[in-house]
């Protein structure tokens, strides 16, 4: 399958359902900003839309600053990102009749803002994500703004899935990012070290699979499973 055979293809249709996200592969991979809000109503409506209406069943977090155990006091005070994984479980329980077979996965690869983590970790992580896409999962990949860390992973995935050269993978990632209603004039990936990692992983030798920092939680009908 070649989704990207035309270099000057109009990608406006890849804009996501919010101003801060975009499709990478329609119906399979979406990239964007942190999928949570301080306001409870807006937060729940966003997550419900992503799961029920869009079909997202896998959330991929690339943020080292996210603490799944952050207290409500901490995130409401703006001292930590809202741990939306708890909200997903609550929403699944509340809307069970609308999503009776919902099986939501959370994947977490902690990366510091503007930086990268070990090549071996990103290498195996991207391969795992590609396997999930090929198995029919629909994922939302995010960091805080959905620009740098997210763009790094997206570029590696595109390069591998469609045998793209490094320049084509990076250009495609940027153009998909810029299809957003509000792309914020950001580069994606954002920093030289992030773009350098894309080069290494797409051009260099493959690393031995390693998933040491990959954390997975599964929510089924509002319950946490293994």
Q: 3-state DSSP call for residue 50?
A: helix
Alpha carbons within 13 A on the beta-carbon side of 160:
26
Give the whole-number percent of the chain exceeding pLDDT 90. 84
Q: What is the pLDDT of residue 1?
A: 40
150 close to 128: Cβ distance less than 8 angstroms: no
- pLDDT mean over 15-40: 97
- Domain covering 14-225 in this structure, CATH number: 3.90.190.10
The pLDDT tens digits of the residues spanning 118-176 come to 999 999 999 999 999 999 999 999 999 999 999 999 999 999 999 999 999 999 999 99
Burial class of residue 136 in the structure, from the number of CB atoms within 10 Å of its CB (0-12 exposed, 13-18 middle, 19+ buried): exposed
Instruction: Note the pLDDT of residue 105.
Output: 97
Strand 58-63 and strand 139-142: pairing?
parallel
pLDDT value, residue 220:
54
CB 196 within 8 A of CB 155: no
Calculate the alpha carbon distances from 144 to 3, 12, 31, 62, 208 in Å: 27, 23, 11, 8, 29
Residues in CB range of 12: below 8 A, 6 or more apart: 179
Domain segments of the chain as ranges? 14-225
Compute the average pLDDT of residues 196-201.
Answer: 98
- Tokens read off for 157: 């995935």
Q: In what order do the strands lie in the sheet with 223-225?
A: 21-25, 29-32, 139-142, 58-63, 103-111, 215-220, 223-225
| Alpha-carbon span 111 to 118, nearest angstrom | 9
Segment 73-123, tens digit of pLDDT = 999 999 999 999 999 999 999 999 998 888 999 999 999 999 999 999 999
pLDDT for res 204? 73
Q: Is 7's pLDDT higher than 60?
A: no
Q: How confident is residue 215, by pLDDT bands cut at 50, 70 and 90?
A: low
* pLDDT for residue 216: 53
Over residues 31-49, mean pLDDT:
97
User: Which has the higher per-residue pLDDT, 225 or 199?
Assistant: 199
């Amino acid at each position: 399958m070649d989704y990207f055979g035309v270099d000057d293809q109009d990608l406006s249709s890849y804009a996501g359902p919010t101003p801060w996200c975009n499709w990478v592969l329609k119906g399979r991979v979406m990239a964007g900003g942190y999928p949570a809000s301080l306001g409870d109503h807006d937060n729940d409506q966003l997550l419900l839309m992503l799961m029920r209406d869009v079909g997202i069943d896998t959330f991929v977090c690339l943020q080292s600053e996210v603490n799944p155990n952050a207290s409500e006091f901490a995130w409401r005070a703006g001292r930590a990102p809202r741990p939306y994984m708890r909200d997903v479980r609550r929403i699944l329980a509340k809307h069970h009749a609308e999503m009776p077979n919902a099986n939501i996965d959370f994947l977490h690869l902690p990366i510091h803002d503007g930086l990268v983590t070990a090549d071996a970790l990103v290498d195996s992580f991207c391969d795992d994500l590609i396997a999930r896409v090929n198995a029919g999962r629909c994922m939302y990949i995010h960091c805080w703004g959905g620009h740098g860390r997210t763009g790094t992973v997206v570029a590696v995935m595109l390069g591998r899935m469609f045998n793209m050269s490094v320049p084509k993978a990076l250009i495609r990632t940027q153009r998909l990012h810029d299809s957003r209603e509000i792309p914020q004039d950001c580069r994606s990936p954002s920093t030289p070290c992030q773009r350098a990692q894309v080069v290494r992983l797409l051009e260099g030798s493959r690393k031995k699979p390693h998933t040491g920092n990959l954390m997975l939680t599964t929510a089924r009908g509002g319950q946490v499973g293994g």
